[in-house]
């Protein structure tokens, strides 16, 4: 048994944000069945997602996600062994980030205010997980 946490970014194809509801529905259904937990953030056409669970289940789900035509340019930021889950309350939590978050979170705004800035996020280890955890708490 090996618990892993995978974080990636990707770009929504087209501008149909209504697709996100369908993505979430199948994510919650499948992740509950497969013992996965996680969080999906959306900002200006970009996704930042964390998946955690048994390595085989995370990898199989990520392979399926990569083949989904509703997004493209999937880039793994980290895949690490973890001793415990960080998102155990969510089979797949979701937040859309907007101007209110740019104003209330100036420390993190440069990483998401025009969509997720992959280069800046890669250059600051830990910041992707910090943002995912912050938004999973639902207080902002
Ligand atoms: P269904 O949801 O029943 O879908 C059947 C097939 O049709 C799938 O192959 C699906 O990819 C495709 N499909 C459905 N609607 C559309 C559409 N409008 N346009 C193009 N293709 C479509 N899945 C998870 O299980 N867990 C996750 O955490 C997860 N996160 C995701 C995050 C993002 C950003 C995206 C884009 C997708 C995510 N998915 C996730 C969905 C994943 O890519 C698969 O679509 C899903 O796992 C397939 O589930 P299913 O076999 O129950 O098929």
More confident residue, 130 or 1: 130
d(CA 93, CA 137): 10
Residue 38 burial (10 A CB sphere; 0-12, 13-18, 19+): buried
Count of Cβ atoms closer than 10 Å to residue 88 Cβ: 9
Pocket test for ligand 1, best of 65, 69, 94 (most atoms within 8 A of CB): 65
Q: Is 48 touching ligand 1 by the criterion CB < 6 Å?
A: no
End-to-end Cα, the chain, rounded Å: 34
- Is 25 a residue whose pLDDT tops 70? yes
Across the range 48-61, mean pLDDT stands at 98
Q: Cα–Cα distance between 115 and 131 in angstroms, integer?
A: 13
| pLDDT attached to residue 80 | 97
Residue closest by Cα to atom 3 of ligand 1: 26
Banded pLDDT at 65 (limits 50, 70, 90): very high
pLDDT at 140 over 80: no
* Ligand 1 geometric centre to CA of 10 (Å): 14
Ligand 1 close to Cβ of residue 103 (< 6 A): no
Note the pLDDT of residue 15: 86
In Å, what is the CA distance from 128 to each residue of 25, 92, 115, 123, 138?
24, 16, 13, 10, 16
Ligand 1 atom, smallest distance to 66 CA? 43
Average pLDDT, the chain: 96
**Structure tokens belonging to residue 22:** 């369908």
Contact 35, 10 (CB under 8 A): no
Q: Is 49 in the pocket of ligand 1 (CB under 6 A)?
A: yes
- For the domain covering 3-136, report its CATH number: 3.30.70.100
What separation in Å is there between the alpha carbon of 124 and the centre of ligand 1?
Answer: 30
Q: What is the pLDDT of residues 104-117, one digit of tens each?
A: 999 999 999 999 99
65 alpha carbon to ligand 1 midpoint, in Å? 7
d(CA 96, CA 21): 12
Distance of alpha carbon 26 from alpha carbon 91, whole angstroms: 11
What pLDDT does 139 receive?
65
Check whether 77 has a pLDDT greater than 90: yes
11 lines ligand 1 (CB under 6 A): no
Checking if the pLDDT of 53 tops 80, the result is yes
């Amino acid at each position: 048994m090996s618990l892993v946490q995978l974080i990636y970014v990707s770009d929504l194809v087209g501008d149909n944000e209504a697709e996100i509801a369908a993505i979430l529905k199948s994510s919650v259904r499948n992740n509950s069945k497969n013992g996965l937990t996680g969080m999906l953030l959306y900002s200006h056409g970009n996704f930042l997602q964390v998946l955690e669970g048994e390595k085989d289940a995370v990898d199989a789900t990520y392979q399926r996600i990569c083949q989904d035509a509703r997004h493209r340019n999937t880039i793994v930021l980290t895949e690490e062994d973890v001793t415990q889950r960080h998102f155990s309350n969510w089979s797949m939590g979701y937040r859309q980030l907007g101007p209110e978050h740019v104003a209330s979170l100036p420390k993190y705004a440069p990483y998401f205010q025009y969509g997720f800035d992959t280069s800046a996020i890669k250059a600051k280890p830990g910041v992707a997980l910090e943002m995912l955890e912050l938004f999973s708490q639902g207080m902002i």
